[in-house]
């Protein structure tokens, strides 16, 4: 689990470099990616967790990124985008693709739909984190308007 989190953190950093994020900010993304991966794996230990792990991971990424953005006064996307990449259900899409190519339509649909739901879980996690934390962290944006 620790090795996997380490790999997730390093992956985050590598993708951050690919998206032209500055190294001085990138270590934060790396830490966020590693913590989120660990949280997601911890949720996965629960029996019947299913896609809850992806949701938890995305929620952790979103929340920590909001905090980091407030701390460093930088756009949130800089921290979210590299960290969320490790959660993208690429392997599910690939398995669905191979199943379809081998005329195994049931398995293909199963993996494909799981991938879609995993992506939806990621989106929901990110959305909830932003929706909950923004009003708490930046109350001046939400009070005194109009």
User: Where on the chain is the footprint of another protein (CB under 8 A)?
Assistant: 4, 7-8, 10-11, 14-15, 17-22, 25, 37, 73-78, 80-82, 84-86, 88, 90-91, 93-95, 97-98, 100-102, 119, 122-123, 126-127, 130-131
Q: Which is nearer to another protein, 46 or 94 (CB)?
A: 94
What minimum distance in Å lies between the beta carbon of 104 and another protein?
12
What minimum distance in Å lies between the beta carbon of 82 and another protein?
8
DSSP string, the chain: -HHHHHHHHHHHHHHHHHTT--HHHHHHHHHHHHHHHHHHHHHHTSTT-TTHHHHHHHHHHHHHHHHHHHHHT--THHHHHHHHGGGS-HHHHHHHHHHHHTT-HHHHHHHHHHHHHHHHHHHHHHHHHHHHHHHHH-HHHHSS--
């Amino acid at each position: 689990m620790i090795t996997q989190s380490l790999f997730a953190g390093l992956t985050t950093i590598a993708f951050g470099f690919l998206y032209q994020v500055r190294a001085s900010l990138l270590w934060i993304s790396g830490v966020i990616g590693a913590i989120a991966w660990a949280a997601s794996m911890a949720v996965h230990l629960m029996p019947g967790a299913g896609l809850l792990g992806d949701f938890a991971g995305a929620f952790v990424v979103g929340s920590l990124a909001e905090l980091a953005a407030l701390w460093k006064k930088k756009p949130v996307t800089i921290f979210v985008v590299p960290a969320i990449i490790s959660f993208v259900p690429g392997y599910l899409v690939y398995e669905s693709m191979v199943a379809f190519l081998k005329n195994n339509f049931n398995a293909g649909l199963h993996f494909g739909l799981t991938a879609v739901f995993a992506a939806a879980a990621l989106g929901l996690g990110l959305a909830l984190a932003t929706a909950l934390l923004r009003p708490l962290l930046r109350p001046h944006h939400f009070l005194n308007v109009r």
